[in-house]
Amino acid sequence: MKLPPFDYACPTTLPDAIALLASHDGDAKALAGGQSLMPMLAFRLAQPALLVDLRKLADLRGIRISDRGVALGAMVRWRDIEDDVRLDHAHPLLKAAIAHVAHYQIRNRGTVGGSIAHADPAAEMPGIAMTCDAEIAVAGKSGARVIQAADFFQGALTTALTPDEIIVEVRLPPWPAGRRWGFQEFARRRGDFAMAAAAVFYDEDAKRKARNAHVGAIGVGDRPLRLAAAEDVLNGRSIDDATIARFCEAHAAAEPTRIVDVLVNAALIEGGFDNVSVVVLKP
Ligand code: FAD
């Protein structure tokens, strides 16, 4: 289907982009990679009067790695993450998750900011943001603010962003050496959206007991989830068979109906959601 008519602007500064978005009383939209927005226009799920293309905004580009963690500019594309060898150590969980995003052509266009703003509950980047306690730095006509991932995702395709706000950067906290982690995803075909995915990491204390466990689930709710019950099971315990068994029970307890559905589907396709636990054991 043809796109509906719209005006187009391609500002070169962030303040100009914000002013353009603010000028249309919520009837303007930012355009990043266009991988979700263009289909939404084609299906008339969105009909903004103005598209504000973000591609010339230098402030939104680049991956910065420092002792404060990994900062992903909103216009960083999946391909940039894939190609950045520094992330193999600086954030291996991010890299592993993004390897599951879509197909080559889409990874060439899709952006971190677009995915976070679109807030598809089955998308990998929002799931990683939630699992890792990311901070989402945004700028709008009232100034800049930082939103915690837990407050940002409010439902399917619904976020805390106001219509004039632009995501500038997504900040992931530092990733210590020796951290154990795993990412498992079930999709009908490689590159499809996840039917379900789980991201797990924890650190170890001197007695090799897990601490700081983070467990996230993708595609099993109206937004990316943190499974607090599963985290409680891991923290303070050695990761052995008994802990793994409790961990899997906690998955089921956290989201009874939906997770059971996912378990059944996943078991049919890949041989069992318990693969997540296998990854917990093996960094
Ligand atoms: P756009 O489509 O340009 O924008 C999406 C939304 O975000 C719009 O509402 C736009 O206004 C808003 N927006 C964009 N940037 C900003 C910003 N900086 N600040 C505020 N608002 C902003 N994704 C996955 O995670 N996993 C998959 O498996 C997957 N499979 C896909 C398969 C297909 C066939 C397609 C077409 C897409 C798939 N995607 C998948 C989505 C893709 O990865 C894109 O990342 C995603 O569509 C959004 O990024 P974008 O840059 O294209 O954003």
35 lines ligand 1 (CB under 6 A): yes
Taking the CA of residue 116 as reference, the ligand 1 atom at the shortest distance is 7
114 lines ligand 1 (CB under 6 A): yes
Can you tell me the distance from the alpha carbon of 144 to that of 129, in angstroms, rounded to the nearest whole number? 19
Q: What backbone torsions phi and psi does residue 119 show, to the nearest 5 degrees?
A: 55, 45
Strands 7-9 and 50-53: parallel
Place of tokens 């998750």: 97
Query: What is the predicted pLDDT for the residue at 216?
Result: 85
Can you tell me the distance from the alpha carbon of 199 to that of 193, in angstroms, rounded to the nearest whole number? 15
Q: Is 109:35 a contact under the CB 8 Å cutoff?
A: yes
Token pair for 269: 């396709």
Closest residue by Cα to atom 25, ligand 1, is 123
Q: Is 187:193 a contact under the CB 8 Å cutoff?
A: yes
**E strand or H helix at 204:** strand 196-204
Choose which residue among 76, 106, 159, 161 to substitute to test ligand 1 binding: the one with the highest number of ligand atoms within 8 A of its C-beta: 106
Q: Is 185:197 a contact under the CB 8 Å cutoff?
A: yes
172 lines ligand 1 (CB under 6 A): no
164 lines ligand 1 (CB under 6 A): no
Distances in Å between the Cα of 235 and the Cα atoms of 91, 207, 209, 231 are: 21, 12, 7, 6
29 lines ligand 1 (CB under 6 A): yes
The pTM of the full predicted model, rounded to 2 decimals, is: 0.91
Strands 180-186 and 63-66: unpaired
The answer to whether residue 86 scores a pLDDT higher than 90 is yes
Query: What is the predicted pLDDT for the residue at 254?
Result: 56
Can you tell me the distance from the alpha carbon of 61 to that of 167, in angstroms, rounded to the nearest whole number? 11
Taking the CA of residue 123 as reference, the ligand 1 atom at the shortest distance is 25
73 lines ligand 1 (CB under 6 A): no
Q: Is 263 helix (H, G, I), strand (E, B) or coil?
A: helix
Closest residue by Cα to atom 38, ligand 1, is 102
Can you tell me the distance from the alpha carbon of 244 to that of 230, in angstroms, rounded to the nearest whole number? 10
Q: Provide long-range contacts, Cβ within 8 A and 24+ apart, for 230-238.
A: 230/254, 234/202, 234/210, 234/280, 235/202, 235/210, 235/211, 236/209, 236/210, 236/211, 237/209, 237/210, 238/207, 238/208, 238/209, 238/210
Q: Nearest CA to 100 among 218, 204, 251?
A: 218
Q: Which residues pair with 170 in a beta bridge?
A: 72, 136
The answer to whether residue 9 scores a pLDDT higher than 50 is yes
Span from the CA of 3 to the centroid of ligand 1 (angstroms): 17
The pLDDT tens digits of the residues spanning 124-180 come to: 999 999 999 999 999 999 999 999 999 999 999 999 999 999 999 999 999 999 888
The pLDDT tens digits of the residues spanning 96-120 come to: 999 999 998 999 999 999 999 999 9
Taking the CA of residue 35 as reference, the ligand 1 atom at the shortest distance is 52
For helices 241-254 and 256-270, give the axis angle rounded to 10 degrees.
120
The pLDDT tens digits of the residues spanning 223-275 come to: 998 888 778 888 998 877 777 777 666 665 555 444 444 443 443 343 333 44
Query: What is the predicted pLDDT for the residue at 223?
Result: 92
124 lines ligand 1 (CB under 6 A): yes
